[in-house]
Amino acid sequence: MQNWKERATIEYGINISPFQAEQFDIYLRELLEWNQKFNLTAIRDVEGIQLKHFLDSLSIVKAFPTGFIPQSIIDIGTGAGLPGIPLKIIFPETKLTLVESVKKKARFCDHIVEVLALNDVIVSSARAEEIGQDPPHREGYQLALARAVARMPVLVEYLLPLVKVGGLVVMQKSASAHEEAEASRNAIRLMGGKLVSILPVKLPEVEDERYLVTLEKIKPTPAEFPRRVGIPTKLPIQN
């Protein structure tokens, strides 16, 4: 099998420099070491982390319009810093906010940001609903991301309030992507967004279906969204 970094170049047009490759190697070592004590991620082998974490995170660039380089990214439910930190390594000038309410995972994010000497990174353990109503963050980002955090109607309420008009939301989803997107039509409209694309992503040696669901923010989100902590999950917006 090809080196995962070669796959990043072939599949996504990402050329990983020697310095960036070293950063990924350090990230890998730290994640393996912390995982032994803190159970940060279910994927614990080197190849699994390289493919299902690093390469999967970088696949997000497939959703970018031609020439798009995000100036600011917020990653909701980032866990061990994924996909935010791999994208920060590739786009070092980007301002990044990592949001993770589980304290041990947020501590790891703080640690890896320090070890990799990454600039312009904020780690927050606030809840997504709080961040979305916080003036420094609300409608403050060009790109908002989430992996396996919640079903899409909930994610839409978390993410679209954080994006500037003209910005993008990219959600990494599995086989249910089309069904979830259909169930999210009303939530997307209410939050001021529109569905742009649902792109399939194929990872080497991985059978699971993967998709990138991309939204564009076309108008400001009404002030009542996101609703109070816990409400989006308990009462998702229905069509």
pLDDT digits (tens, 9 = 90+) for 128-140: 999 999 999 999 9
Amino acid in the structure at residue 106? A
pLDDT tens-place string over residues 20-51: 999 999 999 999 999 988 888 888 888 889 99
pLDDT tens digit string along 58-97? Answer: 999 999 999 999 999 999 999 999 999 999 999 999 999 9
- Give the domains, in start order, of the chain with CATH numbers: 4-234 (3.40.50.150)
Per-residue model confidence as pLDDT tens digits over 180-228? 999 999 999 999 999 999 999 988 777 888 999 999 999 999 999 999 9
Q: What is residue 1's predicted lDDT score, i.e. its pLDDT?
A: 47
Max Cα–Cα distance, the chain, nearest Å: 50
Q: Write the CA distances from 173 to 57, 98, 100, integer angstroms.
A: 12, 19, 19
Q: Say how far apart CA 105 and CA 102 lie, in whole Å.
A: 6
Model pTM score:
0.96
